Structure 1
Amino acid sequence: MIRILLAEDQSLVLGALAALLSLEDDLEVVGTAADGEAAWQLARTLRPDVLVTDIEMPRLTGLELAAQVRTELTEVQVIIVTTFARAGYLRRALDAGARGYLLKDAPSHELADAVRQVHAGRRVINASLAEEVWDAQSPLTEREIQVLRCAEGAQSTAAIAQQLGLSEGTVRNYLSEAIGKLDAENRQDAARRAREKGWL
């Protein structure tokens, strides 16, 4: 039996995934979690073969969860199941150590097959996104991403500088660079464009 842990913050989706996977003779859902932190605690306790997780979740995102699993629970394989059909998200998921990336509108048999494939050591990626991912490298540096995340919350330049331990002039430079790279009108527009691409 392949032991599966599910992490999904929408209870209806979580219940549906659990029910569908439990119909398979060789798959067993050993636990479910409604947020990333709960999933992390369960993963450490249950040591499932495969963790199936959403990207956007409270307390710990699916990407953060995948990165922690890769670092500390190397035997657990991670599959991201999401509504985000964006190559930027896929690139970040792969960088975080995910072995699979599927969209929620995929047929249920595809998820069951993906669990088997990933458990066998292979990688499973949504076909339409796989072609795009290599062209989806973010032009932003890590610092520019950090600054844009703060700007997304409408923080002032002074507040961003204090939070990141930078000077206000340095923050303005990072924002200016990011705005230019994204051909954006202002910092909020740059943050929105980067978020849409899956780079934040």
Structure 2
Amino acid sequence: MLLLILRPPDLHAIHFVINSSERIQREHGPLKLGMALPDFLQAVKSKEAAVEIGQFEEEKRFHADPALFAPAASDVLADFFKGQLFRIEINYRPVDKGSSAVDELKAQITARYGPPRINSLPGADLFFWDDGKTRLILERDELEEGIGYSTTYLDNDLFHQASHERVRKETDGKSSYGRK
């Protein structure tokens, strides 16, 4: 008996590994994925954010000074899990609907890392690149008066460790998630 399980492509879009010889950049301004929290606090002017719903139990989030990043950056979030930087999110100032800024950024990233996986939702497009160690996500959001966009860089191992621990705790050890 042959059993086939079909899944729509968007269900595994975040796990697609690109075929590029170039690794995804892990350093952005003074930040480097995997850096220790004390090193971050010494190197970057920042403010710790209030805990939000959905954060991992041992996660800390900081707003970093956007002046240290891309000229159009309006906010930079640095997320730490167990004292290590696992996520950098660079939010850019919204642009007019006719602006080519997002398309130009997507073209630059695609030229460097190859074509992305795409997940389109109502009002938002997500473009994913993943080299097995680092995941890059370009998000484009339709706003009432323009387009919002951001780039997010994830350390895959730290992200999966945090996700695994969250699922284990939320299910009292009866379920797991991905890598251990």
Category of TM-score, reference length = shorter chain: under 0.3
More strand by share: 2
Which is higher, the Rg of structure 1 or of structure 2?
1
What TM-score comes out, normalization by structure 2 length?
Answer: 0.25
**Which structure exhibits the higher relative contact order, with contacts defined as CA atoms closer than 8 Å and separated by 6 or more residues?**
2
